[in-house]
Copies of this chain bind each other. A is one copy, B any other.
Amino acid sequence: MSETAKRILAGLALGAFAVGALYFEVFNWVLPLVLILVFSLMGLYEFYHLTDRGLDGAPFRKLGFLFAILIILGFYAHFLTIKTRFGFEPDATYAMFMHWFYPGENLAILLIVFCFIVCSAAQLMTRPLDGAIYSILVTIGGIVYTTLTLGHGLLILAYPRGVFYLVFFVLLPILMDSGAYFVGRWFGRHNAGLKVSPRKTYEGYVGGIIFTIAVANAVVWGWKEWANPGVREITFGHLEVSLLAFGMAILSIFGDLAESAFKRDANIKDSASTIPGHGGMLDLADAIYFCLPVAFYYMLVREMLGFGF
């Protein structure tokens, strides 16, 4: 099977799996929790691999994973808290869980600070001093990059019609990525001259943006037309979708290039080879990491301005 076919098949399989996990409400939405957790930790694992410089500094892997898990649990409690605003009634176990993981706010800030403190202590007690700053900062940086970002996916999901919005916002960077890839391959003539990613073409970028805007509009149109009543009342108009798709496409370019820059800085080609045809989780999700938090804030501001979720 060709690389491209592998890439498409693996992408579709993963997509179907992910959408299924978001759609089925098993045991207080535990599937999205597991999904976000797995995607975060896989990305974190690869980021830690990327940034390991041996004696010059290396992440505190176990501590990083521990805090990433706690932070995702914090986001999950935040998710359940938002859900209760829209009619979800937690049972006693969950009330207890939420009490400790959401004492009036998302614990992520506090956990990031604690991670800094604990890593500093670990550095002092278990490692030589060289590379102290680097080691502590990559441990935290990996969590910010892969975990704080994806955690916002859970928050988007918590609002009414959240499944649509989350899938939509994950779809945009994927559309941009595949659009740019195929248009660049078929019609690419003019190299964009980017040192960080030398094979990118202007045609690819422009084609990817147009493709993203077109498919995003088609998806929204189809959703409003055919989705079940009760979930199809999304408040996106086509002008808004077009601008949004354009903005997210640009953001995706930066997400993609940033990950390439990290790999070049670390002299590594693929972040891993976990996903057939795609490389690693970081290669697959680089643009999604950047898009989800911005999307959440966009939706939040939109709601504050009275447009609804």
Stretch at the interface among A6-14, A18-26, A129-137, A175-183: A129-137
Per the bound structure, the CA–CA distance linking A108 and B228 in Å amounts to 37
Contact B99 A254 (CB under 8 A): no
Contact B257 A117 (CB under 8 A): no
Q: Does A297 contact B (CB under 8 A)?
A: yes
Contact B113 A144 (CB under 8 A): yes
Q: Which residue of B lies closest to A297 (CB)?
A: B110
Per the bound structure, the CA–CA distance linking A50 and B134 in Å amounts to 12
The interface residues of chain B lying within 8 Å CB-to-CB of A140 are 137, 140-141, 144
Q: Does A309 contact B (CB under 8 A)?
A: no
As for how many copies of this chain the complex holds, the number is 2
* 6 other A-B residue contacts (CB within 8 Å) besides A110-B152, A110-B293: A103-B300, A124-B257, A124-B261, A132-B262, A133-B265, A137-B138
Contact B304 A148 (CB under 8 A): no
Contact B117 A265 (CB under 8 A): no
User: A117-B294, A144-B113 known; A261 and B123 CB under 8 Å?
Assistant: yes
Contact B133 A304 (CB under 8 A): no
Contact B103 A106 (CB under 8 A): no
A108, A109, A132 interface centre (most CB from chain B within 10 Å): A109
Question: Which residue of B113, B148, B195 contacts A152 across the interface (Cβ within 8 Å)?
Answer: B113
Fill in one digit per residue for A87-128: 1 if any B CB lies within 8 Å of its CB, else 0: 000000000000110010110111011101100110110001
Q: Does A211 contact B (CB under 8 A)?
A: no
Q: Does A31 contact B (CB under 8 A)?
A: no
Per the bound structure, the CA–CA distance linking A34 and B157 in Å amounts to 37
Q: Which residue of B lies closest to A301 (CB)?
A: B103
User: A106-B109, A141-B137, A261-B124 known; A290 and B132 CB under 8 Å?
Assistant: no
Query: What is the minimal beta-carbon distance from A211 to any residue of chain B, in angstroms?
Result: 22
How many chain A residues touch B (CB < 8 A): the figure is 57
Q: Does A51 contact B (CB under 8 A)?
A: yes
Q: Does A266 contact B (CB under 8 A)?
A: yes
The interface residues of chain B lying within 8 Å CB-to-CB of A134 are 134, 137, 265
Contact B293 A114 (CB under 8 A): yes
Residues 228-275 of A contacting B (Cβ, < 8 Å): 251, 254-255, 257-258, 261-262, 264-266
Q: Does A145 contact B (CB under 8 A)?
A: yes
Per the bound structure, the CA–CA distance linking A131 and B137 in Å amounts to 13
The interface residues of chain B lying within 8 Å CB-to-CB of A300 are 103
Per the bound structure, the CA–CA distance linking A82 and B160 in Å amounts to 27
Fill in one digit per residue for A159-182: 1 if any B CB lies within 8 Å of its CB, else 0: 000000000000000000000000
The interface residues of chain B lying within 8 Å CB-to-CB of A192 are none
Query: What is the minimal beta-carbon distance from A301 to any residue of chain B, in angstroms?
Result: 8
